[in-house]
């Protein structure tokens, strides 16, 4: 069965600091992985997706994620946090028509 | 381009009343459609998904039901709402297997 684990339900960073949100997956087959962002009272917005074309994936708003098969990880990073990055972030994996979401990480950016 | 619409954006209903939330997708055909519920401060709970008209799978036993009367229309219903039905309901679609999901703006449902 597929599953996704997001380590840290809450992460706080200072404005301008590195953002690192962790995601580990379990998959018996090559996964398709995604990161989503959710602002309050809005739907989820796709940040980036990994579909095996390249291990380093660049997304919107300056975010990127690196697929590491040996570590079964797909961590999300951004070099410099902005206040506007404060939101909930979800990692997800899909196999066929089934989607599996992590429990989410709430990012707080401290001015 | 493809778009997804959900309505209403907010809804306040008394316990025991019926419910109908609607989701439509434009700009694509034969999408896979999904209904999720998100409780306050919690993750996503998959309620229903559909790979075609009248093809609906239920993930969680409850007093909710879903229907797909047209290719790009997905409806979430209940005959009698419970307090526990409060939450943020999200509709999503994909273009096929292993494709990313695209979400609507959600419906905030409050049960009084």
Which of B1, B93, B100 is the best mutation test for A, with the most CBs of A within 10 A?
B100
> What are the chain A neighbours of B110 within 8 Å (beta carbons)?
none
> What are the chain A neighbours of B108 within 8 Å (beta carbons)?
41
Interface check B87 vs A, CB under 8 A? no
Distance from CA of A19 to the nearest CA of B (A): 21
Distance from CA of A33 to the nearest CA of B (A): 9
| Contact state of A99 with B51 under an 8 Å Cβ cutoff | no
Q: Are strands B44-52 and B102-103 parallel, antiparallel or unpaired?
A: unpaired
Helix, strand, or coil (residue B84): helix
Tens digits of residue pLDDT in B28-76: 999 999 999 998 777 899 999 999 998 999 888 679 999 999 999 999 9
pLDDT at B1 over 80: yes
User: By CB neighbour count within 10 A (0-12 exposed, 13-18 middle, 19+ buried), where does B13 fall?
Assistant: middle
Question: Which among B32, B44, B99 has the least Cβ separation from residue A101?
Answer: B44
Tens digits of residue pLDDT in A65-76: 999 988 999 999
Rounded Cα gap, residues A36 and A55, in angstroms = 18
β strands within chain B, DSSP E: 3-7, 10-13, 19-26, 32-38, 44-52, 55-58, 64-70, 73-78, 87-94, 102-103, 107-111
Tens digits of residue pLDDT in A42-68: 999 999 999 877 889 999 999 999 999
Interface check B106 vs A, CB under 8 A? yes
Token pair for B43 = 């993750």
Kindly report the backbone phi and psi dihedral angles of residue A70, in degrees, each rounded to the nearest multiple of 5, phi listed first: -65, -30
| Contact state of B43 with A95 under an 8 Å Cβ cutoff | no
User: By CB neighbour count within 10 A (0-12 exposed, 13-18 middle, 19+ buried), where does A64 fall?
Assistant: middle
| Contact state of B100 with A49 under an 8 Å Cβ cutoff | yes
């Amino acid at each position: 069965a597929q599953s996704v684990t997001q380590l840290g339900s809450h992460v706080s960073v200072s404005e301008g600091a590195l953002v690192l949100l962790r995601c580990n997956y379990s998959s018996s087959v090559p996964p398709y992985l995604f990161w989503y962002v959710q602002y309050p009272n809005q739907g989820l917005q796709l940040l980036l997706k990994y579909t095996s074309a390249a291990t380093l994936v660049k997304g919107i708003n300056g975010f990127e994620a690196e697929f590491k098969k040996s570590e079964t990880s797909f961590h999300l990073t951004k070099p410099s946090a902005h206040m506007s990055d404060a939101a909930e972030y979800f990692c997800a994996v899909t196999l066929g028509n089934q989607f599996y979401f992590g429990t989410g990480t709430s990012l707080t950016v401290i001015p | 381009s493809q778009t997804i619409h959900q309505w209403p954006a907010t809804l306040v209903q008394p316990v025991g009343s019926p419910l109908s939330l609607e989701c439509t997708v434009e700009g694509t055909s034969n999408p896979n459609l999904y209904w999720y519920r998100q409780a306050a401060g919690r993750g996503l709970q998959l309620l229903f998904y559909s790979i075609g008209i009248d093809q609906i799978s239920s993930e969680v036993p409850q007093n909710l039901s879903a229907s797909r009367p047209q290719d790009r229309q997905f409806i979430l219903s209940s005959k009698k709402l419970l307090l526990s039905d409060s939450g943020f309901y999200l509709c999503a679609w994909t273009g096929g297997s292993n494709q990313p999901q695209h979400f609507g703006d959600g419906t905030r449902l409050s049960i009084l």
